[in-house]
Amino acid sequence: MSDTEDEIILSELDDDELVQQMMDDLYDGLKEEIEEAVNILLERGWTPYDILTKALVAGMTIVGHDFRDGILFVPEVLLAANAMKGGMFILKPLLVETGAPRMGKMVIGTVKGDIHDIGKNLVAMMMEGAGFEVVDLGINNPVENYLEALEREQPDILGMSALLTTTMPYMKVVIDTMVAQGIRDEYIVLVGGAPLNEEFGRAIGADAYCRDAAVAVEMAKDYVARKHNQMAAG
Ligand code: B1M
């Protein structure tokens, strides 16, 4: 087939077709196409949040399934992640510029041994959009990094992300160290990541497990309000 017959003009697709095409393009790691499609959806009046969840996160879920099933391998998944980040880069300023009142401060990072950062970045973006100041420690954080950041930044919230069953127990190492140093109760600890659940969050002594970025924002607002009420009462 010639190139002209092959070529798909993204702007000519209707919304459903375009979202479907974005999932295919994310799967194929086509960053420029993802960026173009994100811009098209924005022009069509889609909210940044809908683009994130209905096209990018949904597409990455498909990548995850085929990664698990041995159909995709690390290099391909890296390309998909890179394409996703291209889309997120366009959406970030739009999510962050909400003019929301200052809600509080959060330090967030992915735990030691774990280099997954897309979910954490999404949480950071949505938290900023909701009016929180966010200090992002990046990936592969040993307990010392978290403790130094808590001391330095004096946040309301510590957020931790883990995407591997082998790294999620490290969250307990961080929380146990905070307990041992007598500082656990000074912070709201929120945890998240695909392999976690509520029971795990409770078992390791976190304040809450957050299923996704929207829940993280809700939990953060809720706990910060409670903290302020307690301070006002005390
Ligand atoms: Co990885 N990987 N990976 N990977 N990878 C998973 C996690 C896996 C489930 C894939 C699979 O088998 N189906 C699997 C883990 C299995 C397990 O432990 N049970 C896996 C594996 C095995 C691995 C390697 C070991 C593969 C290998 O090398 N053989 C390796 C480990 C590297 C390491 O960390 N040491 C590895 C590597 C990679 C890449 C580098 C190729 C790439 C990461 C690129 C990057 O992040 N920059 C990658 C990717 C992309 C994935 C999948 C496909 C997608 C993850 C993602 O970005 N999802 C993933 C499969 C999957 O999760 N379905 C997989 C989109 C993102 C928006 O969702 O991260 O869940 P998520 O975040 C959500 C919520 O979880 C929550 O909110 C977010 C937004 O809604 N959340 C929080 C997350 N963190 C939060 C923190 C909070 C609150 C909420 O704090 C308050």
CATH code (residue 119)? 3.40.50.280
* pLDDT number for residue 155: 98
Tokens of 127: 């938290």
> pLDDT band at residue 4, thresholds of 50, 70 and 90?
very low
Q: What is the pLDDT of residue 99?
A: 66
Asked if 125 and 156 sit in the same domain, the reply is: yes
* pTM recorded for the entire structure: 0.93
pLDDT per residue as tens digits for the range 71-120: 999 999 999 999 999 999 999 898 887 666 778 999 999 999 999 999 99
Nearest to 42 by CA among 29, 31, 55: 55
pLDDT of residue 172: 98
The pLDDT value given to residue 228: 82
How many domains, in total, are found in the chain?
Answer: 2
Q: pLDDT at position 2, please? A: 43
> Tokens 């799967």, residue?
27
Range of the domain at 164: 105-233
Q: Which tens digits make up the pLDDT trace of 58-68?
A: 999 999 899 99
Contact 125/108 with Cβ under 8 angstroms? Answer: no
Is 43 in the same domain as 113?
A: no
Q: What are phi and psi of 135, to 5 degrees?
A: -110, 115
What is the structure's pLDDT at 3? 46
Tell me whether residue 1 is in a domain. Answer: no
Final residue of a domain: which of 98, 123, 146? 98
SS3 of 122-168: HHHHHHHHCCEEEEECCCCECHHHHHHHHHHHCCCEEEEECCCCCCC
Query: What is the pLDDT of the chain when averaged over all its residues?
Result: 93
Tokens linked to 55: 């096209």
Question: What's CA 138's distance to the chain center, in Å?
Answer: 12
Q: How many CA atoms lie within 13 A of 192 on its CB side?
A: 24
70 and 94 assigned to the same domain: yes
Considering the domain architecture, whether residues 157 and 220 belong to the same structural domain is answered as: yes
Is there a domain that residue 2 lies in? Answer: no
Task: Please check whether residue 167 is in contact with residue 200, taking contact to mean a CB–CB distance below 8 angstroms.
Answer: no
Residue 61 CA, ligand 1 centroid: distance in Å: 10
Q: Which of 56, 67, 223 to mutate to test the pocket of ligand 1 (most atoms within 8 A of CB)?
A: 67
Q: Give tens-digit pLDDT for 167-203.
A: 999 999 999 999 999 999 999 999 999 999 999 999 9
158 within 8 A of 190, measured Cβ to Cβ = yes
Q: How far, CA to CA in Å, does 126 sit from each of 15, 18, 168, 211, 229? A: 24, 24, 22, 14, 24
- Residue of 163, 166, 191, 209 with the most ligand 1 atoms within 8 Å of its CB, for mutation: 163
pLDDT attached to residue 1: 40
- Report how far ligand 1's centroid is from the alpha carbon of 34 (Å): 20
- The whole-number average pLDDT for the span 196-214 is 97
